[in-house]
């Protein structure tokens, strides 16, 4: 029988800081692919992280930073579609930019 040597639980951003150089970049790509001129800078994204959930973050951004965005009856659909593009973009971003993903100190503990 094989002895278990490690068990790792992960939530986005737990083992590596993927928010700034992963998720933020993926959101910006999703915006560009949708023909939107939105861009989340590092500092703005830091503020937006106070809002839990990607779709909720998009709605918060529209309500607080893009009051010029034309109201649409289908804002829920827009935020859902934009958010749905993130999982497809993120592996490509992390794969190409793995050098810029910073591991969190102390996230992994080795036990003998």
At 70 the pLDDT is 81
Distance in angstroms (rounded) separating the CA atoms of residues 96 and 104: 20
pLDDT at position 106 over 50: no
User: Could you give phi then psi for residue 60, rounded to 5 degrees?
Assistant: -60, -45
Domains and CATH numbers, the chain: 18-99 (1.10.150.240)
At 15 the pLDDT is 64
Q: What is the mean pLDDT of residues 57-77?
A: 85
At 57 the pLDDT is 93
For the whole model, what pTM was predicted?
0.69
At 109 the pLDDT is 43
Dump pLDDT digits (tens) for 8-49.
Answer: 655 555 666 677 778 899 999 999 989 999 999 999 999 999
Known active-site residue 12: yes
């Amino acid at each position: 029988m094989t002895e278990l040597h490690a068990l790792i639980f992960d939530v986005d951003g737990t083992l590596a800081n993927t928010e700034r150089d992963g998720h933020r970049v993926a959101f910006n790509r999703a915006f560009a692919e949708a023909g939107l001129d939105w861009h989340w800078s590092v500092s703005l994204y830091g503020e937006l992280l106070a809002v839990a959930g990607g779709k909720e973050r998009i709605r918060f951004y529209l309500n607080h930073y893009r009051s010029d965005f034309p109201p649409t009856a289908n804002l829920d659909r827009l935020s859902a579609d934009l958010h749905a593009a993130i999982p497809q973009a993120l592996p490509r971003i992390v794969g190409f930019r793995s050098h810029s993903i910073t591991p969190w100190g102390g996230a992994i503990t080795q036990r003998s």
